[in-house]
Amino acid sequence: MRKVGLFCILLLITIFSACNSGQIKITRTDTPTSGVAEIAVDDCFAPIIQEQIDVFEALNDEASIIPIFANEVDVINLLLKDSIRLIIAARDLTDAERQGLLNKKLQARSQKIAIDGIALIINQENTDSLISLSALKKIMTGEIDSWKSINPQSKYDKISVVFDNPNSSTVRFIKDSINRGEPLAETLKAQDNNRAVLDYVAKTPNAMGVIGVNWINNPGDTTNLSFSNKIRVMSVSKNDEPTIQNSFQPFAAYLALGEYPLRRDVYVILSDLRGTLPAGFTSFIADDRGQRIILKAGLVPATRPMRLITVKENF
């Protein structure tokens, strides 16, 4: 027993001496196409990023990307604490956040990868599918709480608004871009994630869900001209009086043209070294194949041109 204890002591002394003399160095073994990397992703983009991972790993069988899907606040904090070196979020870092990373000798690099839309979804039975930005703000601040305020002929009364998470990027977007400083109504509800929002709206006739558009994409439609048949997607107008002509759904073309008003940019933010697996995955998303996946999911690619075709009907 004494020999074992003596051996352990000698081993520790040897390791300590070797570390001090520089004989033991920790080096990275991953490459842009091999190794293991953990990343953090805003849950709003879980479906599209999971598809990016699946394709990337299929092309690079020695690479393994492990995603953590979480709300925006947690995702950003993982990067700032240097627990994760790559995140995907619906906003870029602030100057203060970048400086905090620099203080840790980490330099963040941001790459815009897509333009996303925030969809307003309602139950299939609800036909009140037109809404103005001004009415949306009144709902989010609590000034309006009834479908009959949107449409006096509505068969529903109370509006049950649901978000994915109190700390999500969709909540921040509504606060910053719609309410513009006014507090959210206390009656608004939060689920655990975007899938829970989708499920809640699908079974609740008077519900309105706020959700990332790639969660409602119809994978069976290669034209990207339809959404999931589980729910109905509202058309949003910049005018105070919404009509079919001036209201738009979050299709990629309307996002690209700026006709759909609830849109935002999506970023990959990397604090890792160049030549590593996180850097390789970032390049993949921003390159042709990754951008095609973004387009297929109903978002607008940020680094590749998108062709828009206008079809005129002759009567």
Statement to judge: residues 89 and 173 lie in one domain: no
Statement to judge: residues 139 and 246 lie in one domain: yes
In this prediction, residue 218 has a pLDDT band, given cuts at 50, 70 and 90, of confident
Q: Is residue 224 included in any domain, yes or no?
A: yes
Statement to judge: residues 109 and 48 lie in one domain: yes
Q: Is residue 12 included in any domain, yes or no?
A: no
Statement to judge: residues 268 and 244 lie in one domain: no
Do residues 91 and 72 touch, judged by C-beta distance below 8 A? yes
The CATH number of the domain where 275 resides is what? 3.40.190.10
Using DSSP's 3-state secondary structure scheme, residue 132 falls into strand
Statement to judge: residues 168 and 257 lie in one domain: yes
Statement to judge: residues 268 and 250 lie in one domain: no
Statement to judge: residues 66 and 135 lie in one domain: no
Q: Is residue 29 included in any domain, yes or no?
A: no
Between CA 273 and CA 29 the distance in angstroms is 12
For residue 67, give both structure tokens: 């995603």
Statement to judge: residues 123 and 257 lie in one domain: yes
In this prediction, residue 181 has a pLDDT band, given cuts at 50, 70 and 90, of confident
Strands (E), the chain: 35-42, 63-70, 86-89, 109-122, 130-132, 160-163, 189-190, 207-212, 232-233, 235-237, 247-248, 263-270, 300-301
Statement to judge: residues 149 and 206 lie in one domain: yes
Q: Is residue 3 included in any domain, yes or no?
A: no
Statement to judge: residues 214 and 142 lie in one domain: yes
Among 35-49, 82-96, 216-230, the least confident range: 216-230
What residue numbers bound the domain in which 128 lies? 116-263
Q: List, for residues 126-161, the tens digit of each pLDDT value.
A: 999 999 999 999 999 999 999 999 999 999 999 999
User: Span 88-98, mean pLDDT?
Assistant: 98
Number of domains making up the chain: 2
Do residues 280 and 286 touch, judged by C-beta distance below 8 A? no
Statement to judge: residues 80 and 204 lie in one domain: no
Given a cut of 60, is residue 9 above it in pLDDT? no
Q: Is residue 167 included in any domain, yes or no?
A: yes
Statement to judge: residues 279 and 169 lie in one domain: no
Given a cut of 60, is residue 1 above it in pLDDT? no
Q: List, for residues 241-292, the tens digit of each pLDDT value.
A: 999 999 999 999 999 999 999 999 999 999 999 999 999 999 999 999 999 9
Burial class from Cβ neighbours inside 10 Å (0-12, 13-18, 19+) for residue 196 reads: middle
Q: Is residue 16 included in any domain, yes or no?
A: no
Considering the chain, what percentage of its residues have pLDDT values greater than 90?
A: 81
